Amino acid sequence: MMMWLVRVTVLAVGLPLADAASNGKLGTGAPYCWNALSPIGCHPNDWVNGDHLNCAAAIGPMPWAGTPKYSNIYELFVEGGASTYVPGEWISIALQVKRYPYKYRGLALHASTKDNTHVGEWDFTKEDNMFMNPTSRKECIMHNNADLKPLKTIFRFKAPDAGAGEITFRALIKYGPANDGFFYYPNGHHTYVDYDVPAGGFPGVGTDLKLKENVKPPLQWWSMASKGQSCTEHCQGKGLACDESKLRSITQPGLLDSTVVPISGCPLPILASCSGAVPARDADGQCYYNAVDAGVVEYCQDPSSSASQCDDKKSGNERMCACKETSAHPTPDPTPLPSPQPTTTTQPTPAPVTLQPEPTNRPTRDPTTRDPTRRPTPDPTNAPVRDPTRDPTRDP
pLDDT of 89? 87
3-state percent breakdown (helix, strand, coil) of the chain, nearest 5: 10, 25, 65
pLDDT in tens, 19-46: 344 455 554 567 788 999 999 999 999 9
pLDDT, average across residues 62-77? 97
- pLDDT value at residue 341: 62
CA 101 to chain centre: 34
Residue 262 CA, chain-centre distance (Å), reads 4
Give the per-residue pLDDT at 297. Answer: 61
CA distance 161 to 73: 33
Greater confidence, 94 or 219? Answer: 94
Mean pLDDT in residue range 321-346: 62
Q: Can you give the pLDDT at residue 174?
A: 97
| Residue 185 scores a pLDDT above 70 | yes
DSSP 8-state secondary structure symbol assigned to residue 8:
B
Residues with Cβ < 8 Å from 315, sequence gap 6 or more? 227, 228
Residue 13 pLDDT class (50, 70, 90 cuts): very low
pLDDT band at 304 (very low <50, low <70, confident <90, very high): confident
Strands 140-143 and 106-112: antiparallel
Q: Are 234 and 263 in contact (CB under 8 A)?
A: no
Q: What are the strands, taking DSSP E only, across 98-227?
A: 106-112, 118-119, 121-123, 131-132, 140-143, 152-158, 167-175, 182-185, 209-213, 222-224
Spatial CA neighbour of 100 closest among 67, 64, 135, 73? 73
CA dist 240 and 244 (Å) reads 12
Lowest mean pLDDT among 129-143, 224-238, 250-264, 309-323: 250-264
- Helix (H/G/I), strand (E/B), else coil: 245: helix
* pLDDT > 90: percent of the chain: 50
Tell whether the model's pLDDT for residue 358 goes beyond 70. Answer: no
Looking at per-residue pLDDT, the higher value among 28 and 158 belongs to 158
- How far CA 103 is from CA of 21, 41, 152, 182, 313, in Å, comes to 19, 19, 9, 12, 42
**pLDDT tens, position by position, 98-131:** 999 999 999 999 999 999 999 999 987 655 689 9
What pLDDT is attached to residue 255?
81
Beta-sheet pairing, 152-158 with 90-97 = antiparallel
Percentage of the chain with pLDDT > 70?
Answer: 72
- Asked whether residue 312 carries a pLDDT value surpassing 70, the answer given is yes
Residue scoring higher pLDDT (229 or 269): 229
Strands 131-132 vs 318-324: parallel, antiparallel or unpaired = unpaired
Nearest to 211 by CA among 386, 39, 79, 328: 79
Q: Is the pLDDT score of 336 beyond 60?
A: no
Nearest Cα neighbor of 135 from 49, 45, 215, 25 is 25
Quick one: pLDDT band at residue 183, thresholds 50, 70, 90?
very high
User: Does 161 have pLDDT greater than 50?
Assistant: yes
The CA distance from 152 to 339, in Å, is: 62
CA atoms within 13 A on the CB side of 191: 5
In Å, the largest CA–CA distance within the chain is: 143
Confidence at 202, pLDDT banded by 50, 70, 90: very high
